[in-house]
Amino acid sequence: SSPTLPACVPSLSPPTFGFLLDIDGVLVRGHRVIPAALEAFRRLVNAHGQLRVPVVFVTNAGNILQHSKAQELSALLGFKVEPDQVILSHSPMKLFSQYHNKRMLVSGQGPLVENARILGFENVVTVDELRMAFPVLDMVDLQRRPKTTPLPRNDFPAIEGVLLLGEPVRWETSLQLIMDVLLSNGNPGTGLATAPYPHLPVLASNMDLLWMAEAKMPRFGHGTFLLCLETIYQKVTGKELRYEGLMGKPSVLTYQYAEDLIRQQAERRGWAAPIQKLYAIGDNPMSDVYGANLFHKYLQMARHDGAEARGASGLWKQRPSATQSCASILVCTGVYNPKGPEPTRPAQDAEEAPFHGHRDFSFSPGLMEASHIVNDVNEAVQLVFHKEGWAL
């Protein structure tokens, strides 16, 4: 008779945990794959080229298409990443259906209009289109100033909201024209005696102040652009710029979205056991660690208060969630670097460190403390497999 397998063969029983993987600074630096990522995926993928556990890639990038990001990752990691395993910073904007038919000014770069359409926004105007319609608005670059005074336009439909999908180029133009739209209530050709408040709805994604590319020091992220816009708006009007939606890590909405994709992935694979634990691996204490810890706190509250009390701003149709915890694992291959130059190094005292988070996310030192700190993503995966009693 054939030998019976031992009762517990860890890698044959369905997984009850999943991974949320950041991309920049964890799997890649610029266009180069981090060697530890290749090692990690050798552990995560079985002999048939399939993942042994559910994995979702959660990036704060936004100036790229989901399927392009999936192709890029597939090429770098050597295994097939599906587009629905990739969450971009603006992916949860699909939930903001009350704005999908509004005429929105969209800011960012790359496949902007296509991304807006994929998210459900049918009627968008780019900053460049607005600049062409009203050439006298964009005055910083002397070379671009109109040589003659163009006729004023009165046939341009009013803009009804602003969509900030990622960092633009020519910040002075975007900052000026977004301000013009907010101060004129969507009619930048006319102008108003007093700025309306509350202003038109603003939706933004990716609040990372800094991110890690090939350079030794971190680069400006979209959070730096938002900081400029908020500061200008506050200075000019004396009032605070408000967001109807702010997403990307560390927003809870992004993690709810990721949790749902993990659940769907497990169902598609026929894994019967519910996914109870999430492990979020990232390199940025402010977005990855803070976000995972905030979501963990949210999960505890949801279990305590009942899920119906906790739908993020009522957008999320809360399914009873099986997820019980979300642990944060910080790697040292990106923004966080204990041996690196000043901006990447952890301050000796968290209380004294400058707060790099967004204005609307309060400084809470506890939320920036990772459950685990490891060298790289390969060590992170080994740590989780060990904790879960899985064979390495």
Q: What is the DSSP string of 121-182?
A: --EEEEHHHHHHH-GGG--SSGGGS-SS-PPPP--SPPP-EEEE-S--SSHHHHHHHHHHHH
Rounded CA-CA distance 311/330 in Å is 28
Same domain for 58 and 159, yes or no, is no
Mean pLDDT within 25-35: 94
Is 79 contained in some domain? Answer: yes
Same domain for 136 and 82, yes or no, is no
How does pLDDT run across 91-123, given as a tens digit for each residue?
Answer: 999 999 999 999 999 999 999 999 999 999 999
Same domain for 206 and 115, yes or no, is yes
**pLDDT at residue 342 in the model:** 59
**pLDDT at residue 192 in the model:** 84
**pLDDT at residue 9 in the model:** 43
- Give yes or no for a contact between 108 and 102, defined as CB atoms under 8 angstroms apart: no
Same domain for 83 and 207, yes or no, is no
**pLDDT at residue 29 in the model:** 92
Strand partners, 374: 331
How does pLDDT run across 243-276, given as a tens digit for each residue?
Answer: 999 999 999 999 999 999 999 999 999 998 999 9
Same domain for 268 and 136, yes or no, is no
Is 289 contained in some domain? Answer: no
Q: Considering 208, 226, 246, which residue would you say is the last residue of a domain?
A: 246
**pLDDT at residue 160 in the model:** 98
Mean pLDDT (the chain) is: 90
- Give yes or no for a contact between 310 and 302, defined as CB atoms under 8 angstroms apart: yes
**pLDDT at residue 252 in the model:** 95
Q: Which of 39, 46, 36, 37 is CA-nearest to residue 15?
A: 46
Is 145 contained in some domain? Answer: yes
**pLDDT at residue 351 in the model:** 60
How does pLDDT run across 107-165, given as a tens digit for each residue?
Answer: 999 999 999 999 999 999 999 999 999 999 999 988 888 888 877 778 899 999 999 99
How many domains are there within the chain? 2
Confidence check: pLDDT of 379 > 70: yes
Is 340 contained in some domain? Answer: no
Is 307 contained in some domain? Answer: no
Percentage of the chain exceeding pLDDT 90: 77
351 burial level (CB within 10 Å; 0-12, 13-18, 19+): exposed
Mean pLDDT within 217-228: 96
Same domain for 260 and 163, yes or no, is no
Question: Which of the four pLDDT bands, split at 50, 70 and 90, describes residue 348?
Answer: low
Angle between helices 35-44 and 66-77 (to 10 degrees): 90
Is 288 contained in some domain? Answer: no
- Give yes or no for a contact between 126 and 106, defined as CB atoms under 8 angstroms apart: yes
Tokens at 60, concatenated: 């704060």
Rounded CA-CA distance 267/269 in Å is 5
Is 334 contained in some domain? Answer: no
Residue predicted with more confidence, 364 or 243: 243
Distance from CA of residue 342 to its chain's centroid? 25
Rounded CA-CA distance 215/218 in Å is 7
Is 358 contained in some domain? Answer: no
Residue-range definition of the domain harbouring residue 172? 92-246
Confidence check: pLDDT of 362 > 60: yes
Q: Which of 143, 147, 97, 140 is CA-nearest to residue 122?
A: 97
Q: Which of 222, 265, 200 is CA-nearest to residue 15?
A: 265
Rounded CA-CA distance 90/112 in Å is 11
Residue predicted with more confidence, 344 or 238: 238
Same domain for 136 and 198, yes or no, is yes
How does pLDDT run across 44-92, given as a tens digit for each residue?
Answer: 999 999 999 999 999 999 999 999 999 999 999 999 999 999 999 999 9
Tokens at 384, concatenated: 């989780």
Confidence check: pLDDT of 318 > 90: no
Same domain for 224 and 105, yes or no, is yes
Same domain for 85 and 99, yes or no, is no
pTM confidence score: 0.89
**pLDDT at residue 12 in the model:** 66
Q: What is the CATH number of the domain that holds 270?
A: 3.40.50.1000
CB count in 10 Å sphere of residue 266: 21
Same domain for 191 and 221, yes or no, is yes
CA distances to 14, 166, 323, 377 from 43, rounded to whole Å, are 16, 33, 23, 11
Query: Which ranges of 276-329 does DSSP label H, i.e. alpha helix?
Result: 290-305
Q: Considering 196, 230, 246, which residue would you say is the last residue of a domain?
A: 246
Same domain for 127 and 209, yes or no, is yes
Same domain for 68 and 170, yes or no, is no
